[in-house]
Amino acid sequence: AVELPGTFRTTGGGSRLGLAMPSLPGAADRCRPNILLTGTPGTGKTTTCEMLVEATGMRHVDVGRWVREQSLHSGRDEEFDCYFVDEDKVCDALEDVVAAGGVIVDHHSCDFFPERWFDLVLVLQADTAVLYERLKTRGYSDKKLSENMECEIMNVCLEEAMESYKSEIVQQMQSNTVEQMEENVERVAQWVADWKPQTT
């Protein structure tokens, strides 16, 4: 059986990836699965989402863009050059979008979304040298770069995902190279093709 790459491997029926498909509240109402893709900035979330959209036809929701364009925030953090996300507003705005399924939600933080929304949670990770170069290329300030590097080293996004969702749906994926991204997308696309709504 083909497995999603990563430390957290699971067994169970319903997927050629060996990834269990637990019965989540609300999942039976969806005709396609929802995926949450998270990770430290610079780990390749946007690129991976774009590739997944092309491979699966799913809809990509970039939460950061939604926050900016729909003013789903309570102001701006000038020190870190970002917005203070209003989590309640974000969840209200996304509720109807994710209800039908077939959505990939992309955000660096994942602990405020309802657990029932997602059938698979992907945590992208990158080696520190790779991540440093990506963030440096983006023009991050030294303080912002240091903060994000520390988050990756301390596995903050992975721990947040493991604490917020059932461990059997959380997968970590290395995202250092285009080849790794392509392999990740191929395996996730197969999982999507195999997915079926779960009944309780």
Tell whether 22 is covered by a domain: no
Q: Is residue 88 part of a domain?
A: yes
| Vertex 187 angle, CA 152 and 128, to 5° | 20
Number of domains in the chain: 1
Is 12 within the bounds of a domain?
no
Is there a domain that residue 135 lies in? yes
Domain contains 138: yes
29 lies in a domain?
no
Cα distance between residue 198 and residue 200, in whole Å: 7
CATH of the domain at 43: 3.40.50.300
The closest alpha carbon to 43, from 120, 110, 122, 119, belongs to 122
For 168, the domain range is: 34-188
pLDDT means per 10 residues, the chain with 200 residues, are: 36 40 56 94 95 96 79 69 76 89 93 93 96 94 91 94 94 96 96 82
Q: What are the CA-CA distances from residue 88 to residues 19, 53, 92, 112 (Å)?
A: 31, 26, 6, 8
Residue 5 lies in a domain: no
- Please report whether residue 171 resides in a domain: yes
pLDDT of residue 192: 95
Q: What is the pLDDT of residue 197?
A: 82
